[in-house]
A and B are shown apart, each in its own frame.
Chain A
Amino acid sequence: GENVEQHPSTLSVQEGDSAVIKCTYSDSASNYFPWYKQELGKGPQLIIDIRSNVGEKKDQRIAVTLNKTAKHFSLHITETQPEDSAVYFCAASIGHSGNTPLVFGKGTRLSVIA
């Protein structure tokens, strides 16, 4: 089955710097890769997603890149702010038939130091 590895597990950056989180997946049939942000005491919140027919997607300070050949995808946050501090999870769809469950990475705890 699908397996998702996420690195690093913790990341500290200075306010204004960039943060990069990387994930790899094992199932080449996966075609949907969302990223979620989870703040303390809350449920995961989708921040950006990418489908396998594109290599990059950007939304203001957040971007995601996908390399299908290497089976890895990354989250890039630029101009980090203290409110970006949270746990970030990458995920991959199980298979490609649509509306399938997600397999999550173990999460990255991002701390933005003011």
Chain B
Amino acid sequence: DSGVTQTPKHLITATGQRVTLRCSPRSGDLSVYWYQQSLDQGLQFLIQYYNGEERAKGNILERFSAQQFPDLHSELNLSSLELGDSALYFCASSVAPAGGQETQYFGPGTRLLVL
């Protein structure tokens, strides 16, 4: 158990709908990362938040958005869903020291199926 929690574990929805995925980082971790894992694209970075502020953006579609709340949990919002959005969505967290690269710990993921 990494200490990162994600809800829900599974989500089935229809095209055009909107869903919200939730992530609680490990206690004390300030950085949250969202990754998408699909069969053809592998694990791809979407977006990073650090202590409530957006820190880095990757291959995130405009239909997707995220935020990190004062209690450091994060939500990933996916709207106008398409069949191709079906994937595993992972959240990872790390501490943020003054310098250096800290380990990212991954949650168990949310499996999204768009029908």
**Chain A residues with a Cβ under 8 A of chain B:** 31-32, 34, 36, 42-46, 49, 51, 89, 91, 93-94, 96, 98-107
Q: Does B25 touch A at the CB level, under 8 Å?
A: no
For the A-B complex, the count of residue pairs with Cβ-Cβ distances under 8 Å equals 64
Q: Does B53 touch A at the CB level, under 8 Å?
A: no
8 Å CB interface, B56-115 against A: 56, 58, 90, 94, 96-97, 99-109
A99, B42: Cβ atoms under 8 Å?
no
- Taking A101-B45, A104-B44 as given, write out 12 further A-B residue pairs in contact, using a Cβ cutoff of 8 Å, ordered by the A residue number: A42-B109, A44-B43, A44-B90, A44-B106, A51-B100, A96-B101, A99-B97, A99-B102, A100-B56, A102-B104, A106-B42, A107-B42
Q: Does B2 touch A at the CB level, under 8 Å?
A: yes
Q: Does B31 touch A at the CB level, under 8 Å?
A: yes
Contacts of A104 in B (CB 8 A): 42-44
A60 to B56: give the CA distance in the assembly, Å. 35
A49 to B33: give the CA distance in the assembly, Å. 18
B106, A36: Cβ atoms under 8 Å?
yes
A104 to B33: give the CA distance in the assembly, Å. 14
Contacts of B90 in A (CB 8 A): 43-44
A32 to B58: give the CA distance in the assembly, Å. 18
B108, A31: Cβ atoms under 8 Å?
no
